[in-house]
Structure 1
Amino acid sequence: MAKAERQAAVEEITEHFRGSSAALLTEYRGLTVKQLKELRRSLGADTQYAVVKNTLTKRAASAAGIAGLDELLAGPSAIAFIKGDPVEAAKGLRDFAKANPLLVIKGGVMDGKPLSAAEVAKLADLESREVLLAKAAGAMKATLANAAALFQAPLTQFARTADALRAKAEEQQGGAASASGSDTAVSDADTVVSDAPAE
Structure 2
Amino acid sequence: MLRFTLLVVSLAVVSAFTANSPLTDRCNTRLYGGGTGYATSKTGKEEKVTRVRELLENSQMVFAVPASSITVSQSQKLRRSLPEGTTATVVKNTLMARAVEGTKYEAATSMLQGANMWFFVEEDIGASIKAWKAFQKETGKKDTHDVLGGITEGTLYDTKGVEAIGELPSKDELYAKIAGSIKAVPTKVARVIKAPNSKLARAIKLATMPDE
Normalising by structure 1, we get a TM-score of 0.69
Q: Name the residue aligned to 1:145.
A: 187
1:95 corresponds to 2:145 = no
Q: Return the offset for 1:44.
A: 4.0
Q: Name the residue aligned to 1:60.
A: 99
In the alignment, structure 1 segments of 5+ residues that lack a partner are: 159-199
Q: Return the offset for 1:82.
A: 1.8
Identity of paired residues, percent? 28
Normalising by structure 2, we get a TM-score of 0.65
Report the number of matched residues: 158
1:36 corresponds to 2:75 = yes
Q: Return the offset for 1:109.
A: 1.8
Please tell me whether the aligned partners of residues 47 and 89 of structure 1 are also in contact (alpha carbons under 8 angstroms): yes
Q: Return the offset for 1:53.
A: 0.6
Greater helix content = 1
Q: Name the residue aligned to 1:173.
A: none
Superposed counterparts of 1:115-130, under 5 Å: 115-130=157-172
In the alignment, structure 2 segments of 5+ residues that lack a partner are: 1-39, 201-212
Please tell me whether the aligned partners of residues 146 and 159 of structure 2 are also in contact (alpha carbons under 8 angstroms): no
Q: Which residue identity is paired with 1:139?
A: S
Secondary structure at 2:148's aligned position in 1? strand
User: Which structure ranks higher in relative contact order (CA pairs < 8 Å, sequence separation ≥ 6)?
Assistant: 1
Tell me: CA distance 1:121–1:65, structure 2 relative to 1, closer, same or farther (3 Å): closer
2-structure distance, mates of 1:77, 1:109: 15
1-structure distance, mates of 2:195, 2:46: 70
Tell me: CA distance 1:65–1:97, structure 2 relative to 1, closer, same or farther (3 Å): same
1-structure distance, mates of 2:53, 2:87: 14
Q: Name the residue aligned to 1:110.
A: 152
The CA RMSD measured in Å over matched residues stands at 2.3
2-structure distance, mates of 1:33, 1:130: 29
Please tell me whether the aligned partners of residues 21 and 83 of structure 1 are also in contact (alpha carbons under 8 angstroms): yes
Superposed counterparts of 1:70-81, under 5 Å: 70-81=109-120
Tell me: CA distance 1:40–1:157, structure 2 relative to 1, closer, same or farther (3 Å): closer
Larger radius of gyration: 1
Please tell me whether the aligned partners of residues 50 and 78 of structure 1 are also in contact (alpha carbons under 8 angstroms): yes
